Amino acid sequence: MPHVVVVGGGAGGLELASRLGRRAGRRERIRVTLVDASLTHLWKPLLHEVAAGTLDSGADALDYLAQARQHGFTYQLGRMVGLDRGRRRVRLAAITDEAGRALVPARELDYDWLVLAVGSVSNDFGTPGVAEHCVFLDDAAAAERFQQMLMRALLGAQLQETPLAPEQLSVAIVGGGATGVELAAELRSAARKAAGYGLDRIDPERDLTLTVIEAAERILPALSPGLSAKTHARLEELGVRVLTGRPVTEVTDRGMHVEGGEFVPAELRVWSAGIRAPAWLQELEGLATTRSGQLVVDECLRTADPRVFALGDCAAQTPPGADRPLPPRAQTASQQAEYLARHLPALIAGRTPPPFVYRDYGSLISLTERHAVGRLMGSVFGNWMIEGLLARAAYASLYRKHLAVVHGLPRMLLISTLQWLARRTRPRLKLH
């Protein structure tokens, strides 16, 4: 039985393993194994809510072991560090606990067909001080770490008798893409909720200062100018200072030096200015990569090795006639996962499937739980800009769609109902 190994349990990898497991794994046509370095999955577009404390990752995370059992694939805890294409083996590093004790030993995993869906990590572009003094929201663990830093800062300010220092309760977010913009808006909402839980000595509007710093001439530079302008205006309404056309030149433990000589004081510093593929992908012999480390793939998502595929942020696929690869977005990874789930069995059988075709369905930016802005595209919507509650409902539906792919429609409806009920019994802000 052909063995398909999917490395990376993000949105694309998990959706692919779940679809393949349901379609082919249960019928014993294909054996599917998912490898990830974490025990749980959280949809990456939700990380800004985890960082702000408005979403509890412990309550909303998906357990890979349970998912594998329910959907016809197997799961292995591991972190890929190398590949032996000649012997068709994936090299996995040892997984250790906080004390350095080995939980899972280093090992190799055989495959017949390999799909790399390892996502991306933040790119600091070599800016001095970034690695030492910034938080990168690459995964749930980093988002939880920032949430703990935020709560300590709020509690410390609540009990402090002296006036706040210039950098105290100041947050500087480098990068005006979706992550940076959504985090800034969510932090304002979190500060308002914190005041309602007894942190009443903190003025959520005056004391928590928020700054988004973007090197390009406008925030959301990859999206339309109209959507960018609406988002910029909404951020300013929320009291977020937006600096555009101002690259950061250095980061210290007290703030950011910005081109032009300005210093932005910040107790909490987040870097979300760019992404790159994991560095070890460039060390895979014989597989071409881009300058940002992404694996170059063809119209069927194959690398230079026809038995090795890549999807999502770690893959660079340039459509015919285009001058740049597809955007590293959740909808790209999801569409690619759907394509491979449908056509990988045919490829395994030696048949040539139709090429992958990406469809842009628009963009939605969350600006707190009751407001979003976005543009919907497609045969139904045409090209339609929306905002407010309607846009927020559309944004929430993207997560429901991900849950439906991962769990199936009936289970998605049940999970969504239970989550809705749970959020009305839990505090509206994570306080620990």
The pLDDT of residue 182: 95
**Longest CA pairwise span in the chain (Å):** 72
Contact 363, 227 (CB under 8 A): yes
CA–CA separation, 31 vs 244, rounded Å?
50
- Dump pLDDT digits (tens) for 260-272: 999 999 999 999 9
Joined together, the tokens standing for residue 175 give: 């990068």
Place of tokens 């560090």: 81
Place of tokens 């370095």: 37
Exposed/middle/buried for 108, CB within 10 Å: 0-12, 13-18, 19+? Answer: middle
State yes or no: pLDDT of 379 exceeds 50.
Answer: no
DSSP codes, 262-318: -EEE-SEEEE-S-EE--GGGGGSTT--B-TT-PEE--TTSB-SSTTEEE-GGGEE--
Mean pLDDT of 74-96: 95
CA–CA separation, 422 vs 414, rounded Å?
12
CA–CA separation, 276 vs 23, rounded Å?
32
Residue 383: φ, ψ to 5°: -140, 95
Counting Cα atoms < 13 Å in the Cβ hemisphere of 237 gives 9
pLDDT band at 431 (very low <50, low <70, confident <90, very high): low
Domains and CATH numbers, the chain: 3-120+277-348 (3.50.50.60), 130-271 (3.50.50.60), 362-423 (no CATH)
- Dump pLDDT digits (tens) for 54-81: 888 777 789 999 999 999 999 999 999 9
- Dump pLDDT digits (tens) for 126-180: 999 999 999 999 999 999 999 999 999 999 888 888 888 888 999 999 999 999 9
Is residue 408 helix, strand or coil? coil
Question: What is the helix (H) or strand (E) element at residue 385, kind and residue range?
Answer: strand 382-388
C-alpha distances (whole Å) from 82 to each of 150, 263, 283 are 36, 42, 8
Contact 305, 269 (CB under 8 A): no
Contact 122, 138 (CB under 8 A): yes
Place of tokens 């239970």: 418
pLDDT band at 377 (very low <50, low <70, confident <90, very high): low
Tell whether the torsion through CA atoms of 181, 142, 265 and 259 is positive or negative.
negative
Percentage of the residues of the chain whose pLDDT score is greater than 90 = 63
Place of tokens 């309602």: 196
Joined together, the tokens standing for residue 80 give: 């890929």
Mean pLDDT of 403-425: 81
Query: Strand locations in 133-188, DSSP E?
Result: 135-136, 170-174
Joined together, the tokens standing for residue 151 give: 């709560």
The pLDDT of residue 27: 65
Place of tokens 């003094």: 133
The pTM assigned to this predicted structure is 0.91
Exposed/middle/buried for 188, CB within 10 Å: 0-12, 13-18, 19+? Answer: buried
Short-list 345, 311, 378, 369, CA closest to 46? 369
Contact 337, 12 (CB under 8 A): yes
CA–CA separation, 346 vs 355, rounded Å?
13
The pLDDT of residue 386: 82
Would residue 45 be called left, alpha or beta, if left means φ above 0 and alpha means ψ between -120 and 50 degrees? alpha
Compute the mean pLDDT over every residue in the chain, rounded to the nearest whole number: 90
